[in-house]
Amino acid sequence: MKATKRQAEASLFDKTPRGGGGRQGLFMALTALLCLAVLAAGVLLCVNYYSQGRNLRDVDMRKYAKVEMEDEVYTVSVDADAIVKDFHLPNPKTTNLDLSRFPDVETVYSLTFLVTPRQEGGWSIQTGSDRPTAAEDLRRGGLRLVNTEWTWTEQDMKNAYRDSLEYPRRLSMKKYVLCGKNTMGGYVLTVDHERMLRATGWDLPEDESVRKAHTGYKAIVSLGYYVSPLTDGFLVETSSTLENVYAMLLDNGVRLTDTTWVYSLAEVEELYAEQHGAQEAEPVPESEPEPSPVAEANGPRSGQVLTSLYHVDQTPVRKAIRQAKEQKYGAALKSSEVVGNCFVVAKTDEAEHGNVFRLVYEITTTGGKEYLVADAFDLQGDGLPMGDVQLTVAKSQQEALSTDAFDASAYTVHVLTEGAMVYAEDGGASPFDADGLLFPNSLTERIAEADMWSLAIPADKTLLQLLGYGRNEIFARCGNKFSDTSAYTRFYSNYPWYQPKGSVSYNTIKAKYPVAAENIESIKAMEKLIKEG
C-alpha cells in the first residue's frame, strides 16, 4: 500500500530514533532537579543575607546629632527630619500620615541623646528611645543605627555646634531683650549683646581690640531698640548706629528676625519680673531701735537735734520707717509709693519735738488702697530717731498730706521733693565736675550712700534726677548710645569723652568693671528707697 502524501511529509521531519524516549525523560528530570537546587541555594543565601542584616541601611547617629546652645549650656538632640529626608521615609510633617502604620518613622522621631558630663572633661553621648520595640521597628523599615555611643571633648562639642547652625543663622530680636527701669520708674528695653554674640556661633578672639575689628561684632553691639508708647502698650523697633548693619550681619552668616513688634504693658511687666525677680526687703542693722507705732513711746527732746538735712545720710531713718511699715502690714503689703515727704524743724525750745521726719505713703494691700503717715521724731546727728516711728492711717490723701498739726508759730515745715535737702549752703550750685561727672571714680571705686546724699542740688534738678545721671554716666563712659531725644544724650554730647558706640548692657559693664556694676545696683537701691520708701 502506498503512503499518502501527508504521511510522507511527516516522515521527513520525524528524525527521532526509535526507542529514545527514555533518555529524553531522564534529561528533563535532571534539569528540574538542578533548577530546584539553584532555587534552594538562592533561598538559603537570601535567608542568610537578611539574617545578617546586610539588607539594612546604616543610620550614623553622630551625623544626625544637632547641637544648640542657650546661656552657654549645650543641648544635643536628634535631627529626625534629616533622617527622614536622607532615607526617603514618609514625612508626617508634610503628609497626612498615620504613624501607627509606619512604626519605623515613629521610632525615628522618638530617638533622643543622653548627654553625661565626664570627670576628665567632655561628655559621653548615648542614643536612646522610649519605644521598647525601637530596634525591631527600624529593622522592619530597613534601618539600623550605628555609632550610637561616643564621647566629645569641649572642642568637639563646639565644632558640632557650629556645624549645626543654619545658614544664615536667624536671630530673633525679641529673644534678646533686657528690661530695666529708668530713674522715673519707666521701663527701658536694651539688647543683651553678650547673649546675642554667643548665639551667632562666631569664634571671636579674646583680645578686645581684635574682637572690635570683626564686622559682625561691630554690627551686633550697634543694635538697640526704639520704643514708642501706644495706648495700651509699646511699639518696639530695632535700631542701630550703623546704616548697613543688616548687610554686615548677612556677610557674617546672620539674619535678624522679629525686628518690629508690639508689647502690651502686661508683657513688659512680666518680662521685668522674670529678669529681676521679687525685691526682698533689706534687713535693718541690729543697732537700729526696734520701731513701734505707739506714739506714747516717744521720749522728750534732748541733746543736739538736727535743724538741716544738708549732707545728712537719710538712709538709716528711711530704712527704720520702712521696717515699721512692713512690720505693720506683713504679707498683706502689695506695694507702696512715697507721695509726700517733709522735714519739720522746731522754731523754739518750747516745741514738743526738735524735728520730725515724715513720709506719706500710698499703700496697696490685699484688702485695697489706703494712705499711711510715718513720722520719725527728734533725729540726731547720726540720722536716727531718738524715739520710735509713729504710723497713722489717714482717711484720704488730702488728710495724709496735711501738715496742719504742726503749729506754724512753733515749727517750720520744709517740703522735700524726691530726696531734696534742707538749708543747702551751696544750694543751686552744680554737682557736676568739669567733665560733666557726678562720681568720676565710679568705674573702679565704690560709691557710699553718704556720698549720694551729699550731692549738691542744682536749681533745675532733684536728688532723684541726679542719681539717674550718676547711674547713667557709668553707661555713657562705657560707650552706651542713648536715644536721640534723651536728656542724657543732650547732656553728655557736650563732653569730648562721650563716644557712643551702641547699646551697652549691664552684663557687659559687670564683666569689665565689676565695681561699676555694684555702684549701679547701689544707686538703683537708693532710687527705690526714695520712691517707694
Per run of 10 residues, the mean pLDDT along the chain (length 533 residues) is 49 48 70 72 53 70 84 80 86 73 86 87 89 87 90 86 73 88 74 86 79 88 84 83 83 86 87 70 41 36 67 84 87 87 84 87 88 88 69 88 86 82 65 90 89 81 87 92 85 91 87 90 88 82
**Helical pair 514-532 and 463-477, crossing angle rounded to 10 deg:** 160
Comparing CA positions, the residue from 439, 429, 514 lying closest to residue 471 is: 439
pLDDT at 476: 92
Q: Within a domain: residue 157?
A: yes
As a whole number of Å, the CA-based R_g of the chain is: 41
Is 97 in the same domain as 199? Answer: no
* Bridge partners for 235 per DSSP: 228, 262
- Residue 144 lies inside a defined structural domain of this protein: yes
What pLDDT, on the 0 to 100 scale, is given for residue 40?
67
Say what the pLDDT of residue 167 is. 67
Whether omega before 168 lies within 30 degrees of 0, making that bond cis, reads yes
Asked if 141 contacts 102 with a C-beta cutoff of 8 angstroms, the reply is yes
Residue 242 placed within a domain: yes
Residue 82 and residue 69: Cα distance in Å, rounded?
20
Per-residue CA distances from 85 to 11, 93, 129, 413, 523 (Å): 70, 11, 20, 80, 57
Q: Is residue 432 part of a domain?
A: no
Instruction: Find all residues with CB under 8 Å of 182, minimum gap 6, and list them.
Output: 188, 468
- CA dist 453 and 416 (Å) reads 13
Query: Who contacts 494 (Cβ-Cβ below 8 Å, separation ≥6)?
Result: 436
Bridge-based pairing of strands 368-377 and 355-365 is: antiparallel
3-state secondary structure of 33: helix
Of 212, 241, 276, the residue at which a domain comes to its end is 276
- Domain holding 351, by residue range, is 295-415
pTM, to two decimals:
0.45
Q: Which residues contact 386 (CB under 8 A, 6 or more apart)?
A: 299, 301, 302, 303, 305, 377, 378, 379, 380
In a domain, 81, yes or no: yes
N-terminal to C-terminal alpha carbon distance within the chain: 145
CA diameter of the chain: 176
pLDDT of residue 295: 32
Residues 377, 299: Cα–Cα separation, whole Å: 9
**Whether residue 472 sits in one domain with residue 370:** no
Same domain as 121, residue 198: no
Q: Give how many domains the chain has, as a whole number.
A: 4
**pLDDT score at 46:** 52
* pLDDT for the residue 351: 82
Indicate if 476 and 515 belong to the same structural domain. Answer: yes
If asked whether residues 256 and 358 sit together in one domain, one would say no
Domain contains 188: yes
Domain finish residue from 99, 130, 164 = 164
Query: How many angstroms separate the CA atoms of 188 and 182, rounded?
Result: 6
Considering the domain architecture, whether residues 455 and 524 belong to the same structural domain is answered as yes
